[in-house]
Chains A and B, each alone.
Chain A
Amino acid sequence: EDQVTQSPEALRLQEGESSSLNCSYTVSGLRGLFWYRQDPGKGPEFLFTLYSAGEEKEKERLKATLTKKESFLHITAPKPEDSATYLCAVQDTGNQFYFGTGTSLTVIP
């Protein structure tokens, strides 16, 4: 059973076209939800940690929100340099980490 599901798998946006990425999870107890950015061949870059429903975090053009069953990563007015794979991971109360398969974002100039 998938613990973490990300959608869409791939997303192409025009520069400046805002959108949202989704991460839904089914773990029984959530300890934390993490968003990462990963460029090809490189290690994931940690973006946000969210711990409780209703929590929001912002960083430049990115904003992450969390509900009891999903998280959204909102990208406002994206730029080509925002092109990357965005990974979501959850840590359950048993301290297991589960990663989603990521959303590949391409921002076209």
Chain B
Amino acid sequence: AAGVIQSPRHLIKEKRETATLKCYPIPRHDTVYWYQQGPGQDPQFLISFYEKMQSDKGSIPDRFSAQQFSDYHSELNMSSLELGDSALYFCASSLGLLDSSTDTQYFGPGTRLTVL
């Protein structure tokens, strides 16, 4: 079965550069979530989209922005990168919002961003 696809899998950037991470949800999933997980840290929720509209916002820095496109894929744009942005960035998708006990969220393999 198709899973959540993230690209690139690895990315190395210099400080103050920009980066774009892409997430392709499971087919027919209309909700996308972004999480950041620093080394040895628990995941931090960044932002989510439902039907191409921002649904929830977490601890996403102002330097970051994201959007969901008409085909439901999402992109996380990161500018003025800092050393502390080095982390694994996970994308997850679900069919609808997580508001019923039968809803399931599927995670992608993550993009490992290293800022030098």
Interface residues of A (CB under 8 A from B): 31-32, 34, 36, 41-46, 49-51, 55, 57, 87, 89, 91, 95-102
Task: Mark the stretch among B38-46, B61-69, B70-78 that contacts chain A.
Answer: B38-46
Interface size band for B: 20 to 34
**How far, in Å, is B101 (CB) from chain A's closest CB?**
6
Whether B107 pairs with A44 at a CB distance below 8 angstroms is yes
In the complex formed, the residue of A with least CB distance to B42 is A99
Instruction: Determine if B110 and A99 form an interchain contact, defined as CB atoms under 8 angstroms apart.
Output: no
Q: Which chain B residues have a beta carbon within 8 Å of chain A's beta carbons?
A: 4, 41-45, 55-56, 58, 88, 90, 92, 98-110
Give the interface SS of chain B, mostly helix, strand, loop or mixed: loop
Cβ B45 vs Cβ A50 within 8 A: no
A57 cross-chain contacts in B, Cβ below 8 A: 101
What number of A-B contacts does a CB cutoff of 8 Å give? 60
Partner of B107 from the list A32, A46, A51, A97 (CB cut-off 8 Å) is A46
The prevalent SS among residues of A at the interface is strand
| Inter-chain contact A49/B44, CB cutoff 8 Å | no
Inter-chain contact A31/B99, CB cutoff 8 Å? yes
Q: Measured between alpha carbons, how far is A44 from B44 in the docked complex, in Å?
A: 12
Question: What A residues does B106 contact at CB under 8 A?
Answer: 46
